Amino acid sequence: MVEMLDDVDRTILKMLLENSRVPYTRIAEKVGMSEPAIKKRVEKLVKGGIIESFTIEVDPWKLGKSLIALVFINASPGKHRAVAETISKIEEVTEVNIVTGQFDMMAKIVCENPRHFEKTIQKIGSIPEVLKTESFVVIEHLEGNRFMGL
């Protein structure tokens, strides 16, 4: 479907990525179309799987979650998917990616403090198929390009 996106679709996606609550009337004004036409376009993007959800972003620091870390994990051969699924169910884990390279997966965890972080790492390490973990604490987060080349 990517090759079927036109400039209007790309503008819609950019505006929704900036603010998923942007009124369709504002999008319509920007692209020179009617609100019903924009609504139909958005529905098509949802139905086609281009738009997966309309969501919010929460600042973990403002919620008292001041320790964010990337945890790289090696798992027993053939167990990567099962381990990733188990790790993804841990409350502090916000995402798990199966990766190439020196490690099998990378998990992003959000914790309140170093003690909470230590307990979370122990939870991950207690999974029998986890062979090794290496953690990197985030000291500063810079937002990348959310538009993915649109």
Per-residue model confidence (pLDDT) at position 2? 52
The helix (run of H) or strand (run of E) holding residue 114 is: helix 114-125
Is 147 domain-assigned?
A: no
Crossing angle of helices 24-31 and 35-47, in 10° steps, is 100
In a shared domain, residues 33 and 85: no
Q: How many domains does the chain have?
A: 2
Q: Where are the alpha helices (DSSP H) in the chain?
A: 7-18, 24-31, 35-47, 80-88, 114-125
Q: Are residues 42 and 96 in the same domain?
A: no
Tens of each residue's pLDDT in the chain, 150 residues: 455 899 999 999 999 999 999 999 999 999 999 999 999 999 999 999 999 999 888 888 888 888 999 999 999 999 999 999 999 999 999 999 999 999 999 999 999 999 999 999 999 999 999 999 999 999 998 888 777 777
Phi-psi region of 80 (alpha: psi -120 to 50; beta: other; left: phi over 0): alpha
DSSP state of 104: S
| Closest among 128, 138, 129, 141 to 71, alpha carbons compared | 138
- Judge if 130 and 64 occupy the same domain: yes
pLDDT for 1 equals 44
Single-letter residue type at 78: G
Same domain, 35 and 89: no
Cα-only R_g, the chain: 20
Domain containing residue 21: CATH number = 1.10.10.10
The CATH number linked to 129 is 3.30.70.920
Tokens of 121: 């790492």
Two tokens, residue 120: 């979370």
Query: Is residue 20 domain-shared with residue 66, that is, in the same domain?
Result: no
Q: Does one domain contain both 36 and 65?
A: no
Among 6, 4, 24, which residue's Cα sits nearest to residue 15?
24
Q: Which domain, by its residues, includes 78?
A: 60-137
Of the candidates 72, 61, 73, the one whose C-alpha atom is nearest the C-alpha of residue 111 is 61
75 within some domain: yes
Dig out the tokens for 145 from the structure: 């390009």
